[in-house]
Structure 1
Amino acid sequence: MSGNPQKAVTIVIANYNGRALLEKYLPHAVAAADYYSFDTEIIVVDDASIDDSVAYLEKHHPSVRVIRHAVNLGFGRASDTGIRAARNPVVILLNTDVCVREDFIAPLVSHFAADDVFAVMAMSLREDGHTPGELVKVPFFKRGYLKFVSSENADLQKVVSENDGFPSYSFYAVGGHCALDRAKYFELKGFDELYYPFYFEDVDLCYRGWKRGWKTIFEPRSIVYHYHDSGSIRSKHREAYIGNIIRRNRLLFVWKNITSPRYFCLNHLLPVLFRSIAGIFVLDVSFLRALFGALRRLPLALKRRKEEKLQERILSDEEIFKLILSGSKSFKKELLHEVGASASILDQ
């Protein structure tokens, strides 16, 4: 392997009771590290597993660095531990339920030759090897929530296909299969524990990068296979609980990060107020539970919002949305049909 420090990579895998997944998918990451032409290390952060994950790693993968947490701290903290321990300037985050292609590293790392790139996301496919799992993240507001066009959207798939493997801007990079500029990660102060125990830490991190003018890129030439149903989160928690955390964190993200009066008031606050009142009468339990969960963290969200306002901001909310959506023009009519009330955002 070459010693070029600018292209050296550390792969960080956060693990919790994922012994079976490590046995199944880690050899592919090891093979990719061997295939890559430059220095590569692999770190597994064991987040207080009670299975034999560590024993398996020590026996079968002695070249992999293992860092153990005494208590379970969640995805963000486990990933942060690995990023801090990494010795290389580019860090690739992988979930334990992600299987990588041998050549997935180089397309990700190539983008960091530019000083204004913070994160690069690989394209994930489902188990059949053809159905998209995670594609470019295109944002819109719907009923007060910040959401993203589904990767199952035929028009989004068409745009990605017609781009013929050409990279594009993405609202965020999925934390389960992305590369980060380690130095910029620390400038952003890492993942925010506001979203504990999981989900939306990656959205928040990349958006704070965008505000500073640091781009997040979707790289379809880097391909991985993501088996969500076998991952530690979905195998350990009920769907109702996971859904509640996601809805809660959608609200917290807006409260912390969105400063545009138009987006915050018109596309978020007014719909949320309406849903809050209507939810009491129609017993919209899922929304109300998420709302009250978010309100319990409102003081921390406002503290973080104040801290972010003190940072130098290069791009506004409107400018970021416009940059992302500029790659979606070829399916604008279909997108407008899907997002409904948020169409005004797309007409900037």
Structure 2
Amino acid sequence: MAQPDFPPVGVIIPNFNGVHLLRRNLPSVIRAAAAYPGTCSIIVVDDGSVDGSAEMLRTEFPSVRVVVHEANRGFAEAIHSGVDAADAEFLIFLNSDVRPQEDFMAPLIRHLEKPEVFSVSPLVLDEDGRVSPVSWRCFRIKRGRLRSVRWRFDDLKSAAPTESLFASGGSVALRKSMFVALGGYLPLYKPFYSEDFDLGLRAWKRGWRTLLEPASRVVHEKKGSISENVAADRVRKTRVCNRFLLEWTHMPGKDLMLYLLPGYLFQLIGRLLRLDLVYVRGFFAALRRLPEALRVRAEIRKHQVLDFWRIVDAVERSFGLKA
């Protein structure tokens, strides 16, 4: 029986041609939902699959609600359809290639009951049990680009929760009302990549925190639906393009002018000399969307209460990288 002090939770799983992933990982999600002390519903959004995913779900997992897109719309729109269909305020987004531990939900949801917390990440493990760097995220400017701060799980001073710059969109718990207030994932980053980074930064800039909760754990498979269904060059070009858009949207103007723009120049020259045309195409694809990124940047500033480096400093102090 559900315990009344644990709020209802909705789990949203986007799917595109991932019938084999759903068969493998959905049973673990169902067991976790049953183990959660409150009520929990599971919604799979089938994003235009042609592998029989929706039919398989209705036949083999009748307790799961299925929302169907007749044509593929991309990760963000699949999540948005799931959010629209969910009744719960507290939501968990899981990719179809993520397998949660049975007790992973309650530690995440407890944090969301604090009004200043926007999202919580579980500890993400790979298939060999190693802690993935996507569990905790922080970035600094190095060699002319915004680069991830390297860390080890042993660096954590304790198993206590710590602040993080953003939670991976593949395994995150968050509040529906805040997600909607932020406008969800932005069209700027379609079809995939960097939308979770952007979402976390927009939340932080409003003063809404993201946490890592090491007591909650999931396993993320090495190869997911994007890599299986999209050509490798397109995946890399999109990743490159969206990282530029993210920097132009969120980085302070002084850092863009003094550090990032010179870094772009040197990197482009180096990539051209190496004939890395995918990278170059990614840059120019981003450049074509610069006016859109600047409009988003201006809109974010209207609601901003914390600047980028103040957020980064807070995240590093929480982790224990700064005194």
Please say whether Structure 1 and Structure 2 have the same fold, judged by a TM-score greater than 0.5.
yes
1:158 is paired with a residue of what secondary structure?
helix
Deviation, 1:305, is: 1.4
2:152 is paired with a residue of what secondary structure?
helix
Query: Could you list the per-position Cα deviations for residues 97-133 of structure 1 after superposition, in whole angstroms to 9, with x for gaps in the alignment?
Result: 0011000000100101211100100111111224536
Q: Which residue of 2 aligns with 1:338?
A: none
2:10 is paired with a residue of what secondary structure?
strand
Note closer, same or farther for the CA distance 1:271–1:130 as it changes in structure 2 (3 Å cut). Answer: closer
2:110 is paired with a residue of what secondary structure?
helix
Q: Which residue of 1 aligns with 2:282?
A: 290
Letter in structure 1 aligned against 2:71 = V
1:175 aligns with 2:163: no
TM-score by length of 1: 0.87
> Counterparts of 1:256 and 1:132 in 2: how far apart (Å)?
27
Number of equivalenced pairs? 323
Letter in structure 2 aligned against 1:265 = M
1:7 is paired with a residue of what secondary structure?
coil
> Counterparts of 2:270 and 2:185 in 1: how far apart (Å)?
34
Deviation, 1:5, is: 7.9
Match of 2:207 among 205, 213, 223: 213
Deviation, 1:280, is: 5.0
Aligned partners of 1:145 and 1:250 also within 8 Å: no
What is the 5 A alignment of 1:1-348?
1-2=1-2, 4=4, 7-132=7-132, 134-150=134-150, 155-160=151-156, 162-163=157-158, 165-229=159-223, 231-258=224-251, 260-276=252-268, 279-280=271-272, 283-310=275-302, 312-330=303-321
> Counterparts of 1:329 and 1:32 in 2: how far apart (Å)?
31
Larger fraction in helix: 1
> Counterparts of 1:217 and 1:267 in 2: how far apart (Å)?
29
Note closer, same or farther for the CA distance 1:266–1:39 as it changes in structure 2 (3 Å cut). Answer: same
Note closer, same or farther for the CA distance 1:278–1:129 as it changes in structure 2 (3 Å cut). Answer: closer
Report the more deviating stretch, 264-273 or 6-15.
264-273
Query: Could you list the per-position Cα deviations for residues 200-236 of structure 1 after superposition, in whole angstroms to 9, with x for gaps in the alignment?
Result: 111101100000000010111100000031x100111
Deviation, 1:66, is: 0.4
What is the root-mean-square deviation in Å for CA atoms of aligned residues?
2.0
In structure 2, runs of 5+ residues without a counterpart are none
2:43 is paired with a residue of what secondary structure?
strand
> Counterparts of 2:287 and 2:12 in 1: how far apart (Å)?
33
Deviation, 1:144, is: 3.7
Report the more deviating stretch, 273-282 or 130-139.
273-282
Query: Could you list the per-position Cα deviations for residues 59-88 of structure 1 after superposition, in whole angstroms to 9, with x for gaps in the alignment?
Result: 111111100001101111101110111100
In structure 1, runs of 5+ residues without a counterpart are 333-346
> Counterparts of 1:144 and 1:73 in 2: how far apart (Å)?
34
Aligned partners of 1:4 and 1:39 also within 8 Å: no
Deviation, 1:282, is: 5.8
> Counterparts of 2:178 and 2:319 in 1: how far apart (Å)?
27
Letter in structure 1 aligned against 2:189 = Y
1:44 is paired with a residue of what secondary structure?
strand
TM-score by length of 2: 0.94
> Counterparts of 2:254 and 2:274 in 1: how far apart (Å)?
28
